[in-house]
Amino acid sequence: MSYPHSNAILWNGREFTWDLVDDYVHSTARRLKEIGVKPGYRVLLEAAPAPGMIIVFLALLHIGAIACPFDPRLTASMFDSIKQKIAPFILLAFTLPDQRFTGLRTFKIDDVICLEPVERFMSASATGDFKELPPERAATIIFSSGSTGDHKAVLHTFSAHWHNARGSAEAIPFGPGDRWLMSLPLYRISGIAVIFRALFGKGTIILPDRNAPDLAQSIISNQPTHISLVPTQFLRLLEVLPQTAWGSFKAILIGGAPVPALLIERAVQMALPVFLTYGMTETASQIATSPLNEACEQGARLLPYREACIIANEICVRGPVTFSGYVEGEKITNAFDANGWFHTGDRGVLNRPFLKVSGRRDRMFISGGENIYPEIIEKALLSYPAIIAARVEPKADPRLGQVPKAFIRLGTGHVFNESDLRTMLKEHLLPFQIPKEFDLDPGYRFPDK
């Protein structure tokens, strides 16, 4: 059964039905072909929360090109790193020109999108026939920061995204009449996963209103039935939203970081339909998801199309939702062991079908849902002329869970200027990566390595 007249996207009071989105996708795919996009070509796509981004994303999938959504906030050096890693054919952005994109063939997204009378390819629905695409066709490259400081380019097939959406639907149904508020970025796997859930179930994606960037106001205005949040967002919403504003929700999916006991207690008191989830970019989003009470008592339940095991206290996963490897130019790096397991770097306990995560094997920590890799920050600190040693560690924070704190040592004769240092760090780091505190404690012992 198809739902051509049900809404695919709601944005700024505008309704885009699935039938209208089909027309946009077909005509936009034709335009992309005219400018040379072919199956297998890699296309960098500025991931702003607008219908145009979703339409171009779907058009690229329809052609068989590889969509590579990127964070619009990337610094010039960060952007150069991902550009070199994937060697894109073209770049599609909302605002041009931009000095970061020098050397790339670029097009404005608004100039690429078109809605013209066009004979539909094979007389089929663009958004309805995605499940008929070759399952092993490469579909996306999602960028995920690695522990070495580089952006990992994670390659997924269409099958990985589709199986993730199928498994998710068994835990949290999402179909016609349901509305998922896009509260997480479209350059993250958590945002991309919502697009595939909508494709699979024909639910509606609500994009935040341009004139109401505040998430609480978007909830009040749009009355979504579903939402994905990191714990920090959930805390802020609990502080500002009245009880009545939560009444439209069927599912509140929370992941990306451990959930503090205070939030769990509030959710139980308010009888909110909270689901806790564990996942990662390399598995196209979710691995295990359960309602709040079950998750707290037993752990999150493994979803269909996922397998898990524990090897040396490390969570390992495999199955059709896993990625194809890391992209390094034309090379795809295999990231699986001899038995096909991907080692997540997370510690945990598996009592099938329940999985409990207990922490990270490496130094990464999470701040407000964002992965913090201390090595990235330390590298930036050490580029400052006055600093001869730097070490970043997590510091407890009541709102964000943990925040980066930097221990630094200055060279002889140098004077610490925090304002100057912060100005320099803004050129190399994203806001959440900049340490909240600098400590010049002479008694701090810096590790040898």
300-326, pLDDT tens digit by residue? 999 999 999 999 989 999 999 999 999
Report the pLDDT value the prediction gives residue 144, as an integer from 0 to 100: 87
Please say whether the beta carbons of 300 and 277 come within 8 A.
yes
Report the pLDDT value the prediction gives residue 148, as an integer from 0 to 100: 44
Lowest mean pLDDT among 87-96, 254-263, 361-370: 254-263
Nearest to 286 by CA among 171, 387, 395: 171
pLDDT above 70 as % of the chain: 93
pLDDT over 70 at 123, yes or no? no
Report the pLDDT value the prediction gives residue 150, as an integer from 0 to 100: 67
Q: What is the mean pLDDT of residues 126-137?
A: 74
pLDDT over 80 at 346, yes or no? yes
Report the number of secondary-structure helices (H) and strands (E) in the chain: 12, 26
Report which residue type is found at 423.
T
- Under the banding of pLDDT at 50, 70 and 90, the label for residue 1 is very low
d(CA 331, CA 66): 15
Is the torsion defined by CA of 369, 358, 164, 170 positive or negative? negative
Within 48-174, residue ranges assigned H as helices are 51-63, 76-86, 109-112, 158-171
Residue boundaries of the structural domains of the chain: 7-360, 365-439
Six token digits for residue 284: 């196209």
Q: What is the mean pLDDT of residues 133-150?
A: 77
Is residue 218 classed as helix, strand or coil in its secondary structure? Answer: helix
Q: What is the pLDDT of residues 31-42, one digit of tens each?
A: 999 999 999 999
- Under the banding of pLDDT at 50, 70 and 90, the label for residue 181 is very high
- For domain 365-439, give the CATH superfamily: ANL, C-terminal domain (3.30.300.30)
DSSP line for 382-435: TTSTTEEEEEEEEEEETTTEEEEEEEEEEPTT----HHHHHHHHTTTS-GGGS-
Nearest to 101 by CA among 52, 144, 44, 57: 44
Q: pTM to 2 decimals?
A: 0.87
**Residues paired with residue 153 on neighbouring β-strands, in sequence order:** 143
Fold (topology level) of 7-360: Rossmann fold (3.40.50)
Q: What is the mean pLDDT of residues 17-33?
A: 94
Q: What is the mean pLDDT of residues 233-260?
A: 92
pLDDT above 90 as % of the chain: 76
Q: What is the largest CA-CA distance in the chain?
A: 74
Please say whether the beta carbons of 86 and 327 come within 8 A.
yes
Q: What angle do CA 113, 116, 121 make, to 5 degrees?
A: 90
pLDDT over 70 at 52, yes or no? yes
Six token digits for residue 105: 């063939």
pLDDT over 50 at 344, yes or no? yes
d(CA 264, CA 275): 11
Report the pLDDT value the prediction gives residue 211, as an integer from 0 to 100: 62
